[in-house]
Structure 1
Amino acid sequence: MTRHRRAQERRQDEMDGGRDHPLRVTLSELMHLRALPLDRVPLRLRQWVFLVEPDARTSEAAFVALFAPGQDPALGRVVVADEDGGWLWERHQEFSTWTWFAYGPLGRELGFQPQPEASFFWLDGAPGQVFRGVEISVSAPGAAAPTDADLGRHIDLQRCVSCEAFDGAARIWTDFRLREGGAGRIHVHNLSLANDEVSRLVQTLLEIGNYRKLALIGFPPAREMLAWLDGAEARLAAITSGLAAGEDSQAVLDRLLALSAEVELRAASSRFRRGATESYHRLTLDRLEALRERRIPGHSTMSEFIARRLLPAMRTRQASDRRLDDLSLRIARSGDLLRTTLGLAQDRQNQETLRGMDASLQLQTKLQGLVEGLSIFAVGYYVLGLLGYLLKPWLHGVAEHLMSGLVPLVLIAVAASLHRRKKRLIDEAH
């Protein structure tokens, strides 16, 4: 009985989350975190993208909290909605989005009629810079298709992008031009969107535009980088030519180090934007694929329109990145060559120094031998002088003859003594 009760308690603990991984619930909710809270049509929506600096995030959270009591902006998402519509704020890595939406008939203006400025309170106080604005309207399912006259008041039909989306469940029109209020316009004619397809389609359209424009942030710096690279590559060529011509190695090294520092500074300052551009480009392509377009005769699809304008910019960005990386490698190779040149010059200098030291040692050895020879005679002279003082008082008359006979013996003895002393010093040194 006790064992059965313990098993029941264990199963209850498991159901209550006693064995849950700390991220189990968080990761499950993550799949639904960015879904738009759109549950019916007709629908009108406006979104603004704000670029927000990291040091402005705290003031942004405080601003959001003023209009959403009871919600925590630190979670990165705030929704205020009722049966008529609402607004949504979301924080992303380097930008934030403010989205206003309302339900109700679109009318002949297709939902693009002016709205009271009070509905968009963030335009007056939210931190950051407005980077993009877009209006989207979605008709009711089965509604009559918009006339060219109605569409033409808001979208340039001669240059617009129009295609079916979600395998023919909807048709979209947009011309990618800024209209009143600085926003682009997209109209979605709802043919058979069902369940959450309205929310997913609108979100896909928003993300295509947002990521496309964010990817293009890297284009102007890339063009500026290409212009700088022309000059930098010419400088490297001049440095390499100077190295080959035998210019002063230190002067060449100074110029090479200055150029290398500039290249590394450029690479460091552009590293984040390079990665962000590639990421936004990939996200744009992914969202275009998720749109599942069908061609409408006489019009470009969104993928075709964006590809014609986005891909050249991305290739420019990639070209500047490759040239910068290549320049860095070439500088490194030039540095290796310069180090080799300096090393060879140092080796030659060391060899000359060693040869000079060897000659000096040989001369010193010869001088030392001369000094040693002279030392033998000097020491012998003093020894003979001492012997003379010692023998003269005792050997009258024969002292001079005896002293002359002792001269070679004394010199031999002194030489042998100095030789033994020198050998002992050398042995002690080793």
Structure 2
Amino acid sequence: MSAAFIYDAVRTPFGRAGGALAGVRPDDLAAVVMRATVQRTGLDPARIADVIFGDANQAGEDNRNVARFAALLAGFPTSVTGVTVNRLCASSVEAVIQGARAIETGDADVVLAGGVESMSRAPFVVEKSPKPWPAVGNQTMWNTSIGWRMVNRALPTPWTISNGESAEKIAREWGISRDAQDAFAARSHHLAAQAWEAGVYDPEIVQVAGAELARDEGIRSDTSADKLAGLTPLFAADGTVTAGNSSSINDGASAVLLAAEGAVQGEPLARIAARAAHGVDPDDFPIAPIEAANKALAKAGKTWADVDVVELNEAFASQSLACLAGWPDLDPAKLNIHGGALAIGHPLGASGGRIIGHAAHELKRRGGGVAVAAICIGVGQGLAVVLER
């Protein structure tokens, strides 16, 4: 088998809902990072065997295989194929895994993976009646930006609670206090702001023409645990999960260029060493990354003592702190050292490419090592990738 290497990874700054990127279609956002990747590496796009992009919504302008449309918008030859995958919040992690698998099995030499989401532009939808012209009754309109819609009533109620309610459940069961969640969220904002100011994110950022952002739009460098403590719980009157210790609604795109060794000019950032998925009850989804990462490390022949950096997608502070508690051998100082989704944002389909890409750039920045990128997924799944340089 061939090894799969990451040769480049880019992303847009992430915009807030209704913010700087809200006027940009998701297929155009994806085209930005696709085009930038081949320009930065000097790669002839005709050599790309496949474009695999994740997208969690696919209900609006990102419908009908956004990967293929974005590749055309990026100016790639029509011979370059594209496929869109959906594993909700881990869609672009899934895209990277599928691309790596194609390279490892010899099906491809070069694959462009990544993901996109415009939660600002996600449409409202209504169910279609089985009859052409229903005689009576009203239709329910669903907001597709985030959360459940048109849920099958055969599923048991505990499995169909909202992600925020699951975050509350995990906080209670794992004994995670409101103070701890707010302190973790403040840490995320401060570290992200410091990283941007120090130029840490510069190697992976590409701007969207006409909507340039100095940094990720959601970062609040002036926040504090005390300020966050003043916010009202969202999911239970006596709860601990607030807008301040939850990830926000965002827009953005990410791309990861995967290739066999030597198939692309230049030195690779990192090698895909292993990956793994793990499933739990849907209402326990926040803790699914614990075993996904443990499995991936075992497949790579590594332990937590070998790990230098961890990129865990911060859907909620309670979820992140529960995962930390589930990895007792991990030094917390190695987790999200440049901030996470609580500050940077979580445009669902793009987040996996962000955490994998940043982990790869960080391994280059420090001259080598082992990294874990892990993410929780609504409906009870976790996905993790181990990188090595």
Scaled by the length of structure 1, what TM-score is found?
0.21
* Larger Rg, first or second structure (1 or 2): 1
Q: As a proportion of its length, which structure holds more helix? A: 1
Name the structure where strand makes up a greater proportion of residues.
Answer: 2
